[in-house]
Amino acid sequence: MVAVEPQTFLERHDERADFNQYWYSGSTISALVQEILDAAPAGDKVAFLSTPSLFYSLPENAVLLDYDEASFGTSPAFVRYDYNAPEQLPEKLAGSCGMLVIDPPFITEPVWRQYARTAALLLAPGGRVICSTVAENAPLMAELFGATACAFKPAIPHLVYQYSLFCSYAPTALSQGNPEVPDE
């Protein structure tokens, strides 16, 4: 898997408030990309659910599941995804992903439960998951994905509250704090 500079995505794509899109900072994209490179089993497909900024940084052997077809639908690896229909996926994706990165447009429990249904369909046995949400969702991330909070917290410049990252495995690149995010 080869990484592409995060600035390329950030320069080409504006956030769309109507889709509740907020992009990670370039440094946060780089840290997440490094984690994916470290943790994704070699040769396994990585699915990015509602995380286009990361997909475009790792387009090799990856698939983007997103609602914003107007902005991202030209990629051959784009799959239109609506969390209200979590099981409407191409059959070829079933059980095909060694890693998922999930950042829904909403942080509510019902929305996360829909994404978890999709994750269950996509993940290969032993697959790994990275989730981005608020710290208050820690019990839900543990229940749905067996994920725990990482030391690294993402910088999301235009988001008014702080997110946390959760991994279903022991992370490497996300095991240290983020210098962009002040200690609480």
Q: What are the residue ranges spanned by the domains of the chain?
A: 6-167
Q: What is the pTM of this model?
A: 0.88
70-99 burial, b at 16+ Cβ within 10 Å, e below that, comes to: ebbeeeebbbebebeebeebeeebeebbbb
Q: Which fold does the domain 6-167 belong to in CATH?
A: Rossmann fold (3.40.50)
- 127's tokens: 């697959």
What pLDDT, in 10s, does the model give residues 59-115? Answer: 678 999 988 665 565 678 889 999 999 999 999 999 999 999 999 988 999 999 999
Cα–Cα distances (Å) from 29 to 6, 23, 51, 69, 173, in that order, read: 6, 9, 10, 22, 12
Alpha helices, H only, the chain: 6-12, 26-39, 52-55, 69-72, 109-122, 138-145
